[in-house]
Amino acid sequence: PLVPGSSASILLRGFALPYLDEVLPALDAIVLAAPLRHMATPGGLRMSVAMSNCGPLGWVTDGRGYRYARLDPASGLPWPPMPPVFLRLAQEAALAAGYPGFVPDACLVNRYAPGARMALHQDRDECDFNAPIVSVSLGLPAIFLFGGAERADKAARIGLLHGDVVVWGGADRLRFHGVAPLKEGEHAVLGAQRINLTFRKAA
């Protein structure tokens, strides 16, 4: 377990590393077609994390709320397709964590520059909370905040490194979670940023 009392999430250290020769060029193509952008929360605040998506559905936020959308609001075009290596990585990680048959239809690309953070929240915009979420960390290390079922519950701090994959499932799927402000640094492969790929079954 990730922390005592958590049963259904698994941290797979370095699981993504063998995939990166294919993943990184595919990621470059995605952010060329659907550039990373700072979206606004429903309350009108600019998010410090820059985001894009690939796959049939993409997570978006604006003054109308949070939702999954088939089209990139910036271009009016469908999001770039999910590269086969992304799907393979997500499915093989889910299988390794005990979740066979995971078929993600959304991949959110989160880009953290130094100082960027994600406040404690739950992922509740998906239709099926029984499906796990697979997250892939790339670039600079981050401190992940793994909270409880209530916002006020104390969060455990988990260091996530380049190539780490976490499969969030079962009872952990609806825990509050976030990312502490990214520390300055220069990663040998990714430079001064952390990228997180989050694979979900949204529909």
Binding site for ligand MD5 (CB under 6 A): 108, 110, 118, 123, 133, 135, 146, 168, 172-173, 175, 177, 179, 196, 198
Provide the residue type at 51 as one letter.
M
Q: How far is the CB of 173 from ligand MD5 (least distance, A)?
A: 6
Whole-angstrom Cα Rg for the chain: 16
Distances (CA, A) of 164 to 86, 103, 115, 132: 14, 20, 21, 16
The Cα-based distances of 60 to 35, 36, 51 in angstroms read 13, 12, 9
Q: Minimum distance from CB of 5 to Fe ion (Å)?
A: 19
Our CA angle for 132, 141, 117, nearest 5°, is 75
The nearer residue to ligand MD5, 76 or 174, going by C-beta atoms, is 174
Residues in contact with Fe ion, counted by CB under 5 A, come to a total of 1
Q: Which does 108 bind (CB under 5 to 8 A by kind): ligand MD5, Fe ion, none?
A: ligand MD5
In whole angstroms, the minimum distance from the beta carbon of 138 to ligand MD5 comes to 10
CB 110 within 8 Å of CB 31: no
Q: Least Å distance between CB 177 and ligand MD5?
A: 4
When CB distances to Fe ion are compared, the closest residue is 123
Least gap, CB of 88 to ligand MD5 (angstroms): 19
Contacting residue, 92, 105, 123, 172, with Fe ion by CB under 5 A: 123
Using the CB atoms, write b or e for 129-162: b if 16+ within 10 Å: eebbbbbbbbbbbbbbbbbbeeeeeebbebebeb
DSSP 151-172: TTSPPEEEEE-TT-EEEE-GGG
Closer by beta carbon to Fe ion, 22 or else 125: 125
Using the minimum distance from each CB to ligand MD5, give the nearer residue, 76 or 159: 159
Residue 111 interacts, among Fe ion, ligand MD5, none and using kind-specific CB cut-offs from 5 to 8 Å, with none
Residues in contact with Fe ion by CB under 5 A are 123
